[in-house]
Amino acid sequence: MPTHQSRQRQCKPAKMSQQTTPSGLDPVQVSSFRTHLSQSTRIVTIIGAGLSASSGLPTFRDINGLWCNHDVFLIASPAGFRRDPGLVWQFYSERRRAALRAGPNPAHYALVNLAKAKPGFVALSQNVDGLLQRAGLDENPKQLKLLHGNLFDLACAGNCGYVDYDNFVDPLCEVLSEGRVRASVMGADVAEGEKPPKASALLFEGIAKKNKKILGEEKFAEAAPTARDAAPLTELGQEVRVPEAAPELYSGIEKAELPQCPGCGENLLRPRVVWFGEALPEDVMEDVDALFKEEKVDLAIVVGTSSQVWPAAGFCEEARGRGAKVAWVNMSEKDCKNAKKEDWVFLGDAAVILPEILNLEGQE
Ligand SMILES: [Zn+2]
C-alpha cells in the first residue's frame, strides 16, 4: 500500500541567509557572551598556540622543514640537552628568531585591553613566544602566568639559579647564527627510508595515559598530542626516556661554543622553557592552584588550544567547578569537543574573533 505521506520537498531556510556578525559569528551568541563578560570580574583565559597562529608562528607540532627528521624528544628534553646541547640550542635559536620576526596580532591586543579593563583577569598561557608580553600584558605580572616559560629567558642548565630575563640578542653566539644552523641541520641527513618518527611512540603513550587520568576514560578522545602536552609527565610518575631507536644526529658543536652561565661559570645556559619530562614551574602552579581555590570564577575563555588535552582540559574544569561559564575560541570544531551545551563556542581565527567578542565598548 502506498503511503499518503507527502513527498514534497521541505523548504529549508538557506544557511547563507542566517544573520551573522561581520566576522561570521552568531549575533545572539556574541550578545549573550558580552552581557556575561560585562558582569564578570574574575576571568581566566587559557591560551594555546592558536592565539599566535595569525602572527605566523607554527605550533610545536607543525614545525618541520629543517627539523622534520628530528625526534622532538631529542630537541626538547633534559636528556636531549645532555646528549647534544648544540642541537637543542640550534632548534631554540630558530624558534627565537621566528618569534622575534613575528609581532602580536589583534587577538593579543584584545586580551591586553580586557586585562586593563578587568583587574581580575588572569591569562594562563602555554605560549613561549613572548607576544602577549610584547602586546603589553606583562605590566601587571599577576595577570599573566606562563605555564611553559619563555623563549627569551635564559637559565643556568645546572642548579646555580641564574636567570637572564628578556634576552632578545640574536644570535646568542656565532654557532647559533641563522647561516650556521641551516648549514648544520641540512648536513645532518638521514639515509633514505630510515626517517625517524617526529616523536616517540613511548611519549605519545604517556600523554594519552595522562589525559585519560585527567579527563576520565569516557571523556578521553584520541587526539594528536602536542609537545607541550607532555610537559608535566613526571607529575604522574611517568618515566620518560630517550627512545632506543634515537637517530644518530649530532650538531658537532662543542660546549665551549654555546652560551655559558655567568652565574656559576661552570654550566651552560638553556632556554627557560618547560621540556618533555619536566614539571610545570612550581611557583606558577602554586599561583594557578590559589586562583581556583580563592573564590568563584565568573568566566573562563579557552583560546587556541584543544579541549581534550592537558592543561586546557584540567583548568577549564577547575574554573567550571568554581562556577565559571566557559567560552571556546578555536579554529577547529574538533578542538571544542568537550564544550558543554551551555558554553559559547566561537569557531574561527582568534585574531578576528577576540577583538569582536571582547569589545567592551561595543557593549549595548
Ligand atoms: Zn650557573
Closest CA to 51 of 356, 359, 351: 351
* Contact call for residues 48 and 303 (beta carbons, < 8 A): yes
Cα 326 to the center of its chain, rounded Å: 18
Q: Is 156 annotated as a binding residue?
A: yes
Residue 124 near residue 44, CB atoms below 8 Å:
yes
Is 261 annotated among the ligand-binding residues? yes
**Residue 11 known to bind ligand:** no
- When the candidates are 3.40.50.10860, 3.40.50.1370, 3.40.50.1220, 2.60.40.350, the CATH number that belongs to 22-57+104-148+275-364 is 3.40.50.1220
Would you list the DSSP string of 102-131? ----HHHHHHHHHHHH-TTEEEEE---S-H
What does the H/E/C string look like for 148-205?
CEEEEEEEECCCCCCEECCCCCCCCCHHHCHHHHHHHHHHCCCCCCCCCCCCCHHHHH
Task: Assign 3-class secondary structure to 57-71.
Answer: CCCHHHCCHHHCCCC
Instruction: Report how far residue 156's alpha carbon sits from residue 217's, in angstroms, rounded to the nearest whole number.
Output: 40
Residues with CB under 5 A from ligand 1 (ion): 156, 158, 160, 162, 261, 263-264, 267
Look up the CATH superfamily of 60-101+153-200+243-273: SIR2/SIRT2 'Small Domain' (3.30.1600.10)
Domain regions of the chain by residue span:
22-57+104-148+275-364, 60-101+153-200+243-273
Cα 95 to ligand 1 centroid, rounded to whole Å: 23
User: Would you call 108 a catalytic residue per the annotation?
Assistant: no
What is the rounded distance in angstroms from the CA atom of residue 329 to the CA atom of residue 107?
11
User: How far is 54 from 267, CA to CA, in rounded Å?
Assistant: 37
Grid look-up 583577569 returns: 121
pLDDT digits (tens, 9 = 90+) for 17-35: 468 887 789 999 999 999 9
Mean pLDDT (the chain) is: 79
Distance 93 CA to ligand 1 centre (A): 20
CA of 89 to the centre of ligand 1 (A): 17
- Check residue 221 and give its pLDDT: 59
Tell me how crowded residue 193 is: count the other CB atoms within 10 A of its CB.
Answer: 5
Burial label for 258, CB within 10 Å (0-12, 13-18, 19+), is buried
Tens-place pLDDT, residues 129-176: 999 999 999 777 899 999 999 999 999 999 899 999 999 999 999 999
Q: pLDDT at residue 233 above 90?
A: no
CA pair distance 27, 12, nearest whole angstrom: 21
316 marked as part of a ligand binding site: no
* Cβ atoms of residues 104 and 135 within 8 Å: yes
Please tell me the distance from the alpha carbon of residue 166 to that of residue 154, in angstroms, as a whole number: 8
Question: Lowest-pLDDT range, 215-224, 254-263, 289-298?
Answer: 215-224
pLDDT per residue as tens digits for the range 307-324: 666 777 789 999 999 999
